[in-house]
Structure 1
Amino acid sequence: MMKRLPLLAIIISSGLQFAGAQEPVSDALTPSVKVSKVLVDGDSIQYMEMSNVYVYPKPTFKTKKQEQAYMRLVKNVKKVLPIAKEARQMLIETAEYIETLPTQKERDAHLKKVESAIVAEYKPKMKKLTYSQGKLLIKLIDRECNATAYETIQAFIGPVRSGMWQAFAWMFGASLKKGYDPNGVDRLTERVVLMVEAGQL
């Protein structure tokens, strides 16, 4: 059995912001084509907007092991990127909803309900993640939310409980403070993510 990240830490970091229904994540990863018309000098001109298309040199591998690692990265991105995008949508919705609550007591009560809902909804998904997929999810949450999983948790449940979750993750060799570096160590991951988003992989 593969080593796994602490279940609740991943659930909380990927979904603490749950507030209600959101758009299906599969739509977020489906390339879109928009056809419309615009009026120019009295003439109706049809135009089409398409998703970005990325052109990269074909990856080359020195060993079979490198090729397998790349294919595993593609598989892992396809599996966890939708969850990271859900986390972003949850963050937006919950932040907006929390602003409508007049007292801190009501906000705290809502966040407790959120936490229970997250565990119920995401526990089955998180159980299926491998250790490497869990670590990738933490990085992709940073990419999607412009904040590390630790910062996201801290914003909602405070420094004490977020510190507890960080310590828990650290015992399993992970860090909720791990950031995403698309121009450095995560350059290959960013390439894969962009191509997955564009429907090219």
Structure 2
Amino acid sequence: MKYSRLFILLFVILAAMGVKAQETTEHVIWPVLGKNDTIRVAATNDGGYMIPWIALQEVKIMGLRIWRSAADQAAFNRLRYNVLKVMPYALYAKRRYEKLERDLALVNDKKTQKKLVKECDNEIKKMFNTEIKELTITQGQILTKLIDREVGRTTYDIVKQTKGGFAAFSYQLVARVVGHNLKTTYSATEDKDIESIIVNSGYYQQ
């Protein structure tokens, strides 16, 4: 008896679903396809009319910038050169730091965590000794801004989290001697020229 009731209930549900599906598709008007309409696209039911659509990539339209003087244009060109010079390092720092966070989240052993941090630190130092040390003071200042932009934390905060407060303080002292500040933050509003250069650089194009 119980099984028969269950069967009847299931039959009623399926029948109702079939009627509902029929109601939603019976009165739908589809567009007339041409012989060249061979690409499958999404469609939206708009009052009984199926409207085909396709998602497009975002297109950014930038106005032509007019410079007040040749000196202003030359300054912007120097800034653009410096930003594009250090941008790969900022992106590398972002990827490496994200990898470190993923690796640390998978282990609970303090010894293993210290090993992971040391490996990351050695990689950063290796890059510093071979490439970053050749950067100018201006390029170094821009790099600290871009690291904050990409990672969401200042260089000082990253060192403090991974190496401790004393190491961050020591690194900051050395940085200040050569004209850097590891606590430098990035603002898309205040650093609008840098933001404009990055947006148009092609680094984030899919």
More RCO (CA 8 Å, sep 6+): 1
Aligned partner of 2:118 in structure 1 is 112
Of 117, 130, 133 in structure 2, the residue corresponding to residue 127 of structure 1 is 133
Flag as ranges the 4+ runs of structure 1 deviating above 6 A: none
Aligned partner of 1:194 in structure 2 is 199
Q: Distance in 2 between matches of 1:138 and 1:36?
A: 46
**Structure 2: stretches of 5+ with no match in the other structure:** 1-38
TM-score by length of 1: 0.70
Against the structure 1 CA distance between its residues 45 and 119, is the aligned structure 2 distance closer, same or farther, given a 3 Å change threshold?
farther
Q: Distance in 2 between matches of 1:122 and 1:148?
A: 17
Q: Distance in 1 between matches of 2:203 and 2:101?
A: 28
Per the TM alignment, residue 37 of structure 1 is displaced from its structure 2 partner at its CA by 4.2
> 1:61 is matched by which residue type in structure 2?
R
Per the TM alignment, residue 132 of structure 1 is displaced from its structure 2 partner at its CA by 0.9
Aligned partner of 2:161 in structure 1 is 155
Matched residues, percent identical? 23
User: CA offsets per residue over residues 73-131 of structure 1, 9 Å max, x none?
Assistant: 11111121122122112221110111111211211122112222222344322133222
User: Does structure 2 conserve the Cα–Cα contact (< 8 Å) formed by 1:101 and 1:107?
Assistant: yes
Aligned partner of 1:19 in structure 2 is none
User: Does structure 1 conserve the Cα–Cα contact (< 8 Å) formed by 2:155 and 2:182?
Assistant: yes
Q: Is 2:87 the partner of 1:95?
A: no
Q: Distance in 1 between matches of 2:71 and 2:197?
A: 18
Q: How many pairs were matched up?
A: 164
User: Does structure 1 conserve the Cα–Cα contact (< 8 Å) formed by 2:145 and 2:186?
Assistant: yes
RMSD (CA atoms): 2.8
Per the TM alignment, residue 197 of structure 1 is displaced from its structure 2 partner at its CA by 3.6
Larger Rg: 2
Aligned partner of 1:55 in structure 2 is 62
Q: Distance in 2 between matches of 1:109 and 1:155?
A: 15
Aligned partner of 1:79 in structure 2 is 85
**Structure 1: stretches of 5+ with no match in the other structure:** 1-34
